[in-house]
Structure 1
Amino acid sequence: MKKTFTILGVVALFATSNAQVVINEIYTGGGTAVATSVYKYDFIELKNIGTTSVTLTDAYIQYTSKTGVFTSANSHVIPTITLAPGQSYLIQEGNAGSKGADLPVTPDLVGNLALATITGKVALTSNATVLTSPTDTNVLDFVGYGITANQFEGASYAPAPSNALSISRTSGDTNNNSADFATGTPSPQNFSGATLGISDVKNVKSLFVKNTLVKNDEIIFGENVDHVKIYGMSGQLVKTIVSSKTNSINVSDLPKGNYIVTGTIDNQSVSQKIMKD
């Protein structure tokens, strides 16, 4: 499909099979009245998966139900944004409910779309024109999720999210929702957080991480830490601990390699490099 971007201030129109700014993650279980809801709000995360900076001007998020028709009432504008390669943009959607926590990072935009939990359709478009299909010329990216979604990119729909799980892009964009997305733990990243993983250590307190060489699948902190997040060195958020203060976390689910651990101690943000062996 044709993708329209403003790149470094120059408008570029080109046909491609792959989008550069994509819908990277969708969480739809926010605010439901069940204990398995992770967060109070739904969210949509955009990401620049290309190699050049991209500016979106007057782009829109459009949403409808599994077999619904898109309308202007179920859409909202995105303020002009410029995303560097690897950078994300977090849009909080829906209304707070009785279950779940606030999003662990500050959203870059607050919308009002209440996304259907199991099946629906979300699109990123270059303008406000109401779309009719995933191949419309103003569609930058399109995700039909859940088994009963009647529109999607490629051969089939993306898997269904749930109160406990989001759907996230597995790698790039092949314009095939079923191949490009998988379910997993919700891991929202905002505009600033997406670049933390390529930054160096900052605000390190004594004994923030006691064992910066992790050999036994457990990170030990010198003090109780809130809001722990772990980033890969490319900036991808790979693990979030939503619970309250802790002095250790298990990382047996992470492969060997280098990471940056972030958290909050006495309301101060801290981060430190570690190596898992």
Structure 2
Amino acid sequence: MKKIFTVLGIASAISFMNAQTTVLTDNFSYTGALTANGWTSHSGTAGQLTSNGTAVNLVAGNSEDANKGFTTPFTLSPGVISKADYSATINIASATGLTTAGDYFLMFTVTSGTSPGNFNARLYAKGSPTGYSLGVVNNGAGTPAPAPTYGTEIPYGTPANITVTYIVDNSVTPATNTATLKINSQPLLTNALGTGTASTTIGGVAIRQAGSATSGTGNISISNLVARVFNSTLAVSDVKNVKGSFVKNTFVKNSEITFGTNAKDVKVYNMFGQIVKTASVKENGTLNVSDLAKGNYIVTGTVNNEPVSQKILKD
């Protein structure tokens, strides 16, 4: 007999996921070195990263990397799904010094200080003669190095409002970690190509300058930086047994979910609580999910006039 979650429990979990805490804010309203304003240099030539009163400016050919810690480190608890994000306004004025291959310049750190640990939820930039593109990688581990998922090119001098979200699912074995990137009104980008194991904490945000004066992270401005963490979610406690099996293959290795009973008003939710599929199905019927990205989803429906739901993993 499989355990089935009630829709009420899922609704509560999705609502709980949206309870957020702001753990870092920097509008760069000061002038001078970041290291004089709450940041710590952990690599390169200290003092190179400076604010002009509205933004921090990366400079082509400079090498300083610096991080700023959260007010409270965020623990990625075992057995549940945890989420954190950071948002900022990015602007790149020209192709000067900007690599055409792509490099990362903004990310989460495991902790803060002179040894901030691994970098996760990495924001990338690359340039062309006409504009810049932003991309995301969940972590940097893997051989070859994981390829970023990039958005649509943005004309030079045009600001991009971005949100990078890092999701760590410790409710499955092995645990998964995924990064998403929202750029202005562009479609959401998702990347889980890095093979590194997620850390047990997220402790800060880092800015990175890399490459050379002719091919690197170039001249990038970052303003309105905010980081948030979200309460662990989808460890639903409202559980009850029902006769039969709602979803027969909770580990979806192919392109279809198979149902063990007639069900109405079937909905598939992603980890943001967004509905990505709807259907009504019959016993042993299927729902094609080949167009969905790999990861965890919640499937809800009505069986014998009773709302039920079940978590699945699409491989």
Q: Do the two structures share a fold, i.e. TM-score over 0.5?
A: no
Point out which structure has higher relative CO (alpha carbons under 8 A, 6+ apart): 2
Q: With structure 2 as the length reference, what TM-score do the two structures score?
A: 0.28
Q: With structure 1 as the length reference, what TM-score do the two structures score?
A: 0.31
Structure of greater Rg: 2
Choose between structure 1 and 2: higher strand proportion.
2
